[in-house]
Amino acid sequence: MESRSLVLGASFMALCILVGQALADTKNQTAPRVPAVIVFGDSIVDPGNNNDLETLIKCNFPPYGQDFINHQATGRFSNGLIPPDLIASKLGVKELVPPYIGYDLQPEDILTGVSFASGATGYDPLTPAILNVIPMPDELKLFGEYKERLKAIAGEERATSIVSKSLYLVCSGTDDIANTYFTTPFRMLEYDINSYVDLLIRGAASFLEQLIQMGAQKIAFVGLPPVGCVPSQRTLGGGIQRNCEPKRNQAAQLFNSKIQKEIDRLNGENKGITGVYIDIYSMLIDLIFQPSKYGFEVSDRGCCGTGEIEVTLLCNKLTASVCPDVTKYVFWDSYHPTERAYKIMIDKIYQDYIQLLV
């Protein structure tokens, strides 16, 4: 009888240990890897900051958001979630990263991060001016305002800790090449591709330097995609066959090679700073040229309308129908990937890059 009691007691203790370990593992899996995710850039990472701006570059109307929570068009330039949401979720911070402007931010929103991104902005100061969106330097001004709000909520010591330990995501530059340089005549008259890319590099490097001065230590910098293979750019520059347009891709690759050197320089000059360059070019080019590898069927046009030119106002439920199965498309409209394509890329980005920062 006594030995039986000992066995039962030992079994109970073992069970308690296993349950305790399971609970600890669950806690570790859900514990945030960083206190906040803070985002700067263009439409790829804009969750709705453009909604209240006097600009044509917005998408807070159907069919945008058709696969979002409650089919809501929030101003995210996709059919559903966008990269900041997916990254914040993987990090255990929260499921959605809200816009800083035009949103009823609660204290918890401030504590866990926001996006200052504005669709159609860029590193060239002319880019946001053309379409009346938020310039990248002004996104930093908003960040300064955010820091004061954070300090008021959390206190100076905790606010300083949040700022230094948060993940910063920077994604911009595509609109400079696709819109300002190749679509409008203004910059092409005074710059060749090399000198224009140098202009963008100066803007990007200046942005990063100021961001570091404002307290950022963990920075994920997204390089440029194969701009010439985006559906709208195929239509505008790819001829009758809508091939990938090589000059746009050349500009993107040149920018990517130069910005990596700038990030290395900033890492070397600033103790405690980790800036990581994210190669989105290779990921997206693989999705475009090998769509079946990922379960896609269409990669040269978007799901909205003809998929060849419709974006923002042209992608609307009155004049543009939507494809029957968005999961088969790499692109949602003629410029922005689908949520499913984003998820595939973010899985790789998280594994190869984000984990180096957190």
Establish whether 333 is a catalytic residue. Answer: yes
Of 42, 43, 115, 300, the catalytic one is 43
Could you tell me which residues come within 8 angstroms of residue 8 by beta carbon, excluding any fewer than 6 positions away?
none
Q: What letter does residue 274 receive in the DSSP assignment?
A: E
Nearest Cα neighbor of 308 from 254, 230, 247, 239 is 230
CA-nearest of 211, 204, 48 to 119 is 48
Any idea of the CA torsion for 121, 124, 129, 130, to the nearest 10 degrees?
Answer: -90
Strands 167-171 and 274-278: unpaired
Question: How far is residue 233's CA from residue 244's CA, in Å, rounded to a whole number?
Answer: 8
Evaluate whether 83 touches 47 at the Cβ level (below 8 Å).
Answer: no
Short-list 349, 220, 353, 222, CA closest to 275 = 220
Q: What does the chain come to in residues?
A: 358
CA 100, CA 46: separation in Å to the nearest integer?
Answer: 10
d(CA 116, CA 81): 16
The active-site residue, picked from 42, 46, 85, 333, is 333
Can you tell me the distance from the alpha carbon of 22 to that of 16, in angstroms, rounded to the nearest whole number? 10
Q: Which of 109, 124, 176, 336 is catalytic?
A: 336
Cα Dmax for the chain: 95
Identify whether the C-beta of residue 88 lies closer than 8 Å to the C-beta of residue 94: yes
**CA 140 and chain centroid, separation:** 16
DSSP state of 293: G
Determine whether 43 is an active site residue.
Answer: yes
Cβ(156)–Cβ(172) below 8 Å? no
Distance between CA atoms of 45 and 345, rounded to whole angstroms?
14
- 157: which 2 tokens? 């010591």
The catalytic site residues sit at 43, 333, 336
